[in-house]
Chain A
Amino acid sequence: MIAALELKGLSKSFGALRANDDIDLSIREHECHAIIGPNGAGKSTLIGLLTGEILPDRGQVLLFGEDITHWSVPRRALAGLGRSFQITQIVPGFSALDNVALAVQGRSGHSFQFVADARADMRLRAPAIEALEQVGLSARADVMSEILSHGERRQLELAMALALKPRVLLLDEPMAGMGPQESALMVQRLIALKGQVTIVLIEHDMDVVFALADRVSVLVAGQVLTSGTPDEVRADRRVRAAYLGGEVA
């Protein structure tokens, strides 16, 4: 079966620092693939290489077999690569619904329309409301996005990514800064997505990773140390030495 994402020898250096060093990785369709690793291991850099925000020094990225290595960020997004940001990126002054509607607008053709009121356009509003319901934020649809709590903003992030109807969802620490309860709810929501969309998940919380991931890749100093099922990774001595340490007994 063709991989959802195929990374071949991806490398990216910042000066002398090899942030990503010859990474080979295959993400299967509909799996949830977690990428773990200590701070500075190169996880966000890898996400950047996948979204196109960072261009690799070497290597290739294939999306469902198609070489997208040199594609721009928006082109990749339209090809089905959705993402959430480690630090939320929302539009202040726009309501939660406006923000999600913008995502719907993104995938519905060009936006060189200058007259009709976009906020009265049900073709944008209806799918946006649906995405908000999916993440449990529909009650806050009309609240200005900058007034939302931190946890709600993270939900909004997810709603925007989902509204793009992505084939692959890249989530960079979707639970970052959330309280335990919010975090648990988010895990429930992501579990509900499993099997519908391919997910690449970056997450520090091992409980979350082991609850969600079908497979785990461990990144250390820019290199893939190992890939496998959660149990395999948990049992791997090198992983415990390099990363997990005492965290997982």
Chain B
Amino acid sequence: MMRQRGLFVLLLLAFIAVPFIAGALGNTYMITMATRVLICAMVAVSLDLLVGWGGLVSFGHAAFFGLGGYVVAIAATHATQGGDIFGWGGTNEALIAWPLAMLVSAGAALVIGALSLRTSGVYFIMITLAFAQMLYFVFVALKVYGGDDGLSMTSRNLLAGARITDARSFYWICLILLAVVVALVGRLLNARFGLVLRGAKASERRMAALGFPVYRYRLVAFVIAGAIAGLAGALWANLGRFAAPDMLSWLRSGEFLVMVILGGSASLLGPVLGAAVFLILETQLAAHTEHWQVIFGPLVVLAALYMPMGLWGYVRGRSS
């Protein structure tokens, strides 16, 4: 437990150091890159709540990420360019748009989860994948909001009326939100709710026999994870000032799963590490060859084979 806390502090310090190092090097791209890591880490942590802690392998988590992105992009588009959606003129205010993104993603998760969680195992993987692909094609077909080309935002959301212009401020916002998410998920996992979710992963029969309607607890976990992914999507759209259907694609869902497994599922911070290593490796390899996936794929397989507990398990084992 102490070691876990030590690594947590170390990771946090590393993230805090990034803007200063980037400043010293005069490298602004580094901040953008690190912001991406923070946002993907947030998705990975939420996905791990389902996969690692709940034993629910969702292959459609990108749907909630993409929905969150589209909510802020659509709201911003109407706010700046007129028009309305369901009679609402949109907003450019983060304090409204981001919670709304979470709400919409949570709502979608409630519907998708309610249907998917009636299945299990491979069927659950397939049905979550199918729902996400359905939403993906909805946005591809939605020509009013850019269809295939995606939807641009003219500027980032305002935060309580203030503009978030520089990359650093946005980075700090993302870091704070990630820290809050990790802290809340960490609490949840050791609260009554979390113990039920974890118990159900080990034995659904046992939990039912102890009086827990397992389905309801899993559904709530699914909704919470969806809401967090929605927030991350809102941040992602703000980072690139852009939302596109590929945010919801099965490739994205697969990438998030790889981050979780690479970092170490059911370890709270493993997915954060997984997201960092995934994105850094991806950009490094992509800089050298366009066929980077040919190298990246086998690397991930090797990692899965030789580090069954993921990077986090490896690091923790080493530091003992």
Contact = CB atoms under 8 A, between A and B. Distances in A.
B190 interface: yes
A14 interface: no
Given A77-B208, A91-B198, A72 B213 contact: yes
Interface stretch (A104-112, A181-189, A221-229, A236-244): A104-112
B187 A107 contact: no
Interface in A77-134: 77-78, 82-83, 85, 89-94, 98, 102-103, 105-107, 111-119, 121
Which of B184, B193, B194, B209 counts the most A-chain CB atoms under 10 A from its CB?
A: B209
A111 B217 contact: yes
B300 interface: no
A57 interface: no
15 contacts: A72-B208, A74-B211, A77-B211, A82-B209, A85-B209, A89-B203, A90-B202, A105-B195, A106-B207, A107-B210, A111-B195, A112-B193, A113-B191, A115-B191, A160-B210
Interface of B: 184, 187-188, 190-196, 198-199, 202-203, 205-214, 217, 220
A53 B208 CA distance: 9
Contacts of B192: 105, 111-113, 116, 118, 121
Which of B193, B195, B202 counts the most A-chain CB atoms under 10 A from its CB?
A: B195
Nearest to A102: B199
What range describes how many residues of A lie at the interface? 35 or more
A73 interface: yes
B181 to A, nearest CB: 13
Contacts of A82: 209
A102 B210 contact: yes
Contacts of A85: 205-206, 209
A164 B191 contact: no
Contacts of A53: 205, 208
Contacts of B190: 117-119
B187 A115 contact: yes
A74 B204 CA distance: 11
A116 B191 contact: yes
Which of B202, B206, B212, B213 counts the most A-chain CB atoms under 10 A from its CB?
A: B206
Contact of A114 (B187, B206, B212, B214): B187
Given A53-B208, A83-B209, 20 more contacts: A74-B210, A74-B212, A75-B213, A77-B208, A77-B209, A85-B206, A91-B203, A91-B206, A93-B202, A102-B195, A105-B195, A111-B192, A111-B195, A111-B217, A113-B191, A113-B193, A115-B187, A117-B190, A118-B195, A160-B206
Nearest to A92: B202
A118 B210 contact: no
Contacts of B199: 91, 94, 102
Contact of B196 (A75, A83, A111, A164): A111
B153 to A, nearest CB: 33
Contacts of B212: 74, 106, 111
Interface in A162-177: 164
A51 interface: yes
A195 to B, nearest CB: 24
A51 B210 CA distance: 11
A112 B208 CA distance: 16
A75 B210 CA distance: 9
B203 A114 contact: no
A106 B203 CA distance: 14
B196 A90 contact: no
A160 B203 CA distance: 13
Contacts of B188: 114-115
B36 to A, nearest CB: 29
B186 to A, nearest CB: 10
Contacts of B194: 114, 118
